[in-house]
Structure 1
Amino acid sequence: MQYREPGVLLWRGFTLQEFANQCFGNKADYGKGRQMPIHYGSNKLNYFTVSSTIATQLPHAVGAAYSLKMDKRDACTVTYFGDGGTSEGDFHAALNFAAVMEAPVIFLCRNNGWAISTPISEQFRSDGVVVKGQAYGIRSIRVDGNDTLAVYNAVRAAREMAINEHRPILIEALTYRVGHHSTSDDSTKYRSVDEIEHWRMTRDPVDRFRKWVVNSGLWSNEDESELRSDVRKKILHAIQVAEKLEKPPLADLFTDVYDRLPENLCEQERLVRDTIKKHPQDYPSDVPV
């Protein structure tokens, strides 16, 4: 998975409280406070923990899909990445691996035109990402990533093909990143404000879907106002609960890798504890030692 898919987790049943626990790294966080915020994961919901490293999740997804195939499971894996990820070697290795082994995996690329400040014109000369899948012998499709229904229908069809035909599928969803890449990024330094506003005003996927459900009689401004108010209350409550929960113990820094801790890790733990005793003012007081 990647960090832009919390909606997938919500759909699968991940709660707002679980999101807040992970962001605050408390004792209820499944990652035990050892991950970056928004790097969620859930074993129960078959959602691999997010990794910061670009595109490393792609070979993992193929391996998981191949295991499903070996176990004769009627299931597939889905992995998400951006256009920048296609410039990584893991992308090409994963596509070739999936094609040769006929693994039931869906590669879903969000091509938003920018890899932080690098435009796609400086990343590749091919016609987008869809042709890269075809080059490896993978059935591929390009959809309007700002059309909710188009994406839904494409993914549903891809899932049926992946499971029933035991083959990989690549979906390129064309979209645009209207916001900055991060709080440390000012995207107006490398693209025009007019370009951003054009996409924001004419192609916003949320506005487009809202208009469709309203015109279909399935939604109203009153419904939206009520939903926003309710969600805001739930989020604030989840944050308040997460803030008050105790942090994971210091020992959790060294667990869950080896069955028995090797001597070098034991020595590191002793050094950390000794340092905290000598300089307690420099370490968080809410972490059990």
Structure 2
Amino acid sequence: MALLLSKSRKLICLKPKIGFLSSVYHHHTLISPNLRTPFRILGLNQPHFASFRFESTKVQTQLNSMHSIHNDSQVLDFPGGEVKFTSHLNFIPETREERVHCYRVLDDYGYPITSDFAQIEKEVALKIFTDMVTLQTMDTIFYEAQRQGRISFYLTTVGEEAINIASAAALKTDDFIFPQYRESGVLLWRGFTIQEFANQLFGNKHDYGKGRQMPIHYGSNKHNYITVASTVATQLPHAVGAAYALKMDAKNACTIVYFGDGGSSTGDFHAALNFAAVLDAPVIFFCRNNGFAISTPVSDQFRSDGVVTKGQAYGIRSIRVDGNDALAVFTAVHEARKMAVTEHKPILVEALTYRAGHHSTSDDSTKYRPAKEIDWWRRERDPVSRFRKWIEREGWLNSQVESELCSNIRKQVLQAIQVAEKQEKPPIKDVFTDVYDVSPANLQEQEISIRETIRKHPQDYPTDVPL
């Protein structure tokens, strides 16, 4: 209870009310109307300050209703919500006795451990598998093309195929995608062709970015896929702002933003979560926790229990999911989207996975982690293999169909490379367009200068770049 003295020397106290004291680490259970078994979500239906953030304090004279200052039932009518007093000196512990559980549907051998998950039709399941195989094949061949010097840069999604494809399958086409740089599978699911991927990697005249982006920095207006930016975590505040706009326009859609565990160590991450929670923006924060921010392990990044607990700290419903289990990822994102759109709430999903490839073609991950560990994850925890075993048991796939599929996809990727490689590069003028409506004088001078330089020294410039 807070006590004040007015100018007339009368004693004024804050009106006592019945309050609450909820544990920061208390778990609540989500029961989906389509699921019979609950899975764990942090902070669901838990009262928190955001629920009362527009209430103000009410100072009233209550001399005849004062309680003893030692009474634990007293509350502080504080802006944002009542806070219950206690006479016990208790600090919130820095760690939990037990880590937050990880939601899973399929075990390591592809056997369901529960029958209660978002049901997937045969056609959807086969497309999930096909796109995961396509993603693996693209990664293998494009990576080799970079090693041959045919493209300048590449990074793979090896070990993270389920995160890409299964999460995309749970979304709607009107939802906006804010990727990091390891979500090419999301774009693949939405219909971006293998040829379009190749055009971007080679930066030819058919590249939608006009050759001005690094390879793998894809973007597509048609597919509501915001262009990748190299800067870490800058896409998070953008995704929240876009989600808030969708809410203001009463759209039946949400945004989803992908980021790695390293991204959660940035200021943009914390600003975005707070922004989303306060404004109730329909955004899904999808953290791809693969254990390493390039070469920095999570143990050197933060002391918290991963990323999932950070959601509750900002008043956001959160769940931890097995990122190598396509059915678990699909179910979690399916339910997250439903809550985000219908309730206008942000949701945080932390997918535990492992980057079974190097961070990029500029990295050698064996310098900071054992090669045996990488091989074990590739062999024992491969998400594509796990999902394949499940659909085989469902009778939807056999070895012959799979073999023909892999062969066909490989031919498509190789053909796309040959076509993309032969195309001209974007013209020089595209370097100076799309920023200003009317090009300023200094840019016009630079364009004239570069054209003259190329004409004087043609041997120093590529011959396939039109002047």
Q: AA paired with 2:314?
A: Y
Alignment match of 2:333 (pick from 145, 155, 159)? 155
Residue 258 of structure 1 aligns with which residue? 436
For residue 176 of structure 1, report the CA deviation from its aligned partner. 0.7
Query: What does 1:130-279 align with in structure 2 at a 5 Å threshold?
Result: 130-279=308-457
- Give the Cα separation in 1 of the matches to 2:334 and 2:380: 26
CA deviation after TM superposition for structure 1 residue 246, in Å: 2.0
Separation of aligned partners in 1, 2:413 and 2:379: 28
Q: Deviations over 1:218-262 (max 9, x none)?
A: 111111110011111111222222122221110000100110111
The corresponding residue for 1:121 is 299
Q: Distance in 2 between matches of 1:185 and 1:247?
A: 28
3-state SS of 1:172 partner: strand
How has the CA–CA distance of structure 1 residues 244 and 193 changed in structure 2, closer, same or farther, with 3 Å as cutoff?
A: closer
What TM-score, normalized by structure 2, do the two folds share? Answer: 0.61
Corresponding residue for residue 165 of structure 2? none
Give the root-mean-square deviation of aligned CA atoms. Answer: 1.1
Distance 2:310 2:222 in 1: 33
What do the CA deviations read for 1:181-240 (whole angstroms, capped 9, x no partner)?
A: 122322222112232233223211111111111122111111111001111111122222
Alignment pair present for 1:66 and 2:244? yes
Which residue in the other structure is 2:196 paired with? 18
Amino acid at match of 1:15: T
Q: Which amino acid aligns with 2:250?
A: K
Identical pairs, percent: 74
* Equivalent pairs, count: 289
Structure 1 alignment gaps of length 5 or more: none
Runs of 4+ in 1 over 4 A off after TM superposition: none
Aligned equivalents of 1:240 and 1:197: distance in 2? Answer: 31
CA distance in 2, matches of 1:120, 1:79: 20
Structure holding more helix per residue? 1
Q: Secondary structure at the match of 1:239?
A: helix
Q: Give the counterpart of 1:36 among 214, 219, 225.
A: 214
- Farther-moved stretch of structure 1 (102-111 vs 272-281): 272-281
TM-score (norm 1): 0.97
Whole-angstrom distance in 2 between the partners of 1:82 and 1:155: 17
Could you tell me which residue of structure 1 aligns to residue 286 of structure 2? 108
Gaps of 5+ in 2: 1-178
